[in-house]
Amino acid sequence: MAHIKLLNEDLPGIVGLLNNRPETAKPLLDLAETLLRGPSSLTSGEREIIAASVSYWNQCHFCHTSHAAAAAAHLKSGLELIDEIKAGLPNTPVSEKLKVLLHIAHQVQRGGKNVTEEDIAFAREQGATDVEIHDTVLIAAAFCMYNRYVDGLNTWAPDPNEAYAEMGERMANVGYGRF
C-alpha cells in the first residue's frame, strides 16, 4: 500500500500519484512527452530503452516494465524486450551509438559527476550529436526522479510483464498527454 492516502488506490505506480496531485502531474507529463515523444534524432524506441534501462538500474519495477513495454510497442518487438533490457540487450540488434549512450545513461544514474570526457569523446566517435548526448543525460536524470517518486511513496505495481502490454501500447501510441 502506498505511504500516503491516494484518491484512487487501484491505479498503479506513477498513475495513482499523477491522478492524486494534478498540479505536479502536468509538468511531469509534459516532461515525459517532450523527452520520449518530442522531435529528436533518437527514435522513441531508443529513448524508451534508455528510460527503461535507467529504471531497471534503479530497481523500479513499475517504471522499468512499463517503459520497456512502450519500447516494445514502438519497435514492434514483442514483450520479450522487457527481459532483454534487464539482461543488457544480448539478443537485440542495438547500434554502437545507442550502446554508448546507454553507457552514459548508466554513469548519470550512478551520479552526474561520473560522466567523463572520455565517455563523451567515445559517444561522438560513434556518431552521437551534442543534442543526442544532452537528451540522453536528461532522460537518465529524469528517470532518477520518476523512479524515486514511484518507489519513495511505495506505490504498488503489477508483477507480470503481460500486465504492461496495453499500457506500453498506450504510452507509445497515445503518449503522455493524458494518463
Q: Of 49 and 140, which CB lies nearer to its own copies in the complex structure? A: 140
Query: What is the per-residue binding string for its own copies in 55-94, x denoting contact by CB under 8 A?
Result: ---xxx----------------------------------
Quote the Cα angle for 62-168-16, to 5°.
Answer: 45
Kindly state whether residue 147 participates in binding its own copies, applying the rule CB under 8 A: yes
Selected binder of its own copies within 11, 15, 28, 100 (CB under 8 A): 28
Kindly state whether residue 141 participates in binding its own copies, applying the rule CB under 8 A: yes
Kindly state whether residue 23 participates in binding its own copies, applying the rule CB under 8 A: yes
Pick from 155, 136, 137: nearest CA to 13: 155
Contact yes or no for 144/108 (Cβ under 8 A) = yes
Tell me the longest C-alpha to C-alpha distance in the chain.
Answer: 50
Q: Of 18 and 81, which CB lies nearer to its own copies in the complex structure? A: 18
Contact yes or no for 33/50 (Cβ under 8 A) = no
Kindly state whether residue 100 participates in binding its own copies, applying the rule CB under 8 A: no
Total residues binding its own copies (CB under 8 A):
50
Kindly state whether residue 21 participates in binding its own copies, applying the rule CB under 8 A: yes
Q: Of 116 and 173, which CB lies nearer to its own copies in the complex structure? A: 116
Cell numbers 547500434 correspond to what residue? 95
Alpha-carbon torsion, ordered 93, 165, 11, 176, to 10 deg = 60
